[in-house]
C-alpha cells in the first residue's frame, strides 16, 4: 500500500497549528507527533481515512509521521530540502520545541478531523514524554521493524477493528492511491 501520495501538506500544517493552539501555543515534536498519530488512528478507524495522509515510521520513541517530520526538519534547517514558505508556519525555540507563527485555518480541517484532533489533544496534552512513548509502543509499533513504515492494517488492528474492516480500508486506500 503506497500511502505516501495521500499526504496533504495544507491539512497537515493546519492540523499541527491547531494542536499547538490547543497546547498553550507551544509544544515539543514528540507530543505533536503522538497527538497526530492518535488522531490519525482514530479518524482512520472511525471514518475510513487519516487526517494527514502521512505515513508513520516506527522510531525509537514511537510512531513518527514521516512527511511532518521532514517539514519540521526543513524549518529547523537540518533537512535535505529548503524550508521556503514552511518557515512562515513555525519556529523552533530549541531543537525540539515548536511555536506557531500563525493561526490554524480550520477551513482545511473537516468537523471529523477536529473531533479526532480534540480527542487526541485532550489525551496527550498532560502526558509526559515517557507516558506517550509507552502508550504508543503498541501492537502496530511492536509489529514493525525499527525505522520502517508502520502498516495501516496494524494501526487499525491496534484499536480492535475487525479483520473485514481492516481489509476494506486497506483496499480503499490502495484505490485512492491508484487514482491520484
At 2 the pLDDT is 46
Which tens digits make up the pLDDT trace of 62-86? Answer: 999 999 999 999 999 998 888 899 9
* Cβ neighbours for 52, distance < 8 A, ≥ 6 positions apart: 7, 8, 11, 12, 15, 36, 40, 65, 67, 68
Residue 174's pLDDT band, with cuts at 50, 70 and 90, is: confident
Instruction: Look at residue 45 in the predicted model and tell me its pLDDT.
Output: 97
pLDDT value, residue 168: 94
The pLDDT of residue 180: 62
Please report which confidence band the pLDDT of residue 177 belongs to, taking 50, 70 and 90 as the band edges. Answer: confident
pLDDT in tens, 84-118: 999 999 999 999 999 999 999 999 999 999 999 99
pLDDT at 125: 96
pLDDT of residue 91: 95
Helix (H/G/I), strand (E/B), else coil: 45: helix
Q: What is the pLDDT of residues 138-148, one digit of tens each?
A: 999 999 999 99
Domain locations in the chain as residue ranges: 3-179
Across residues 15-32, what is the average pLDDT?
A: 98
Of 29, 31, 46, nearest to 155 (Cα)? Answer: 46
Alpha helices in 28-151 (DSSP H): 29-47, 66-76, 111-124, 129-136, 139-142
Amino acid at each position: 500500500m503506497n500511502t505516501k501520495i495521500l499526504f496533504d501538506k495544507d491539512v497537515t500544517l493546519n492540523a499541527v497549528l491547531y494542536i499547538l493552539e490547543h497546547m498553550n501555543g507551544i509544544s515539543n515534536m514528540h507530543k505533536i507527533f503522538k497527538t497526530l498519530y492518535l488522531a490519525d488512528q482514530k479518524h482512520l478507524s472511525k471514518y475510513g481515512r487519516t487526517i494527514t495522509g502521512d505515513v508513520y515510521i516506527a522510531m525509537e520513541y514511537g510512531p513518527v509521521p514521516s512527511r511532518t517530520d521532514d517539514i519540521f526538519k526543513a524549518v529547523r534547517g537540518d533537512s535535505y530540502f529548503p524550508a521556503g514558505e514552511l518557515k512562515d508556519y513555525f519556529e523552533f525555540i530549541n531543537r525540539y520545541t515548536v511555536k506557531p507563527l500563525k493561526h490554524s485555518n480550520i477551513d482545511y480541517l473537516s468537523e471529523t478531523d477536529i473531533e479526532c484532533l480534540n480527542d487526541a489533544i485532550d489525551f496527550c496534552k498532560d502526558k509526559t514524554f515517557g507516558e506517550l512513548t509507552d502508550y504508543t509502543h503498541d501492537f502496530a509499533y511492536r509489529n514493525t521493524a525499527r525505522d520502517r513504515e508502520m502498516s495501516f492494517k496494524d494501526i487499525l488492528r491496534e484499536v480492535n477493528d475487525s479483520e473485514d474492516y481492516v481489509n476494506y480500508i486497506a483496499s480503499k486506500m490502495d484505490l485512492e492511491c491508484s487514482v491520484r
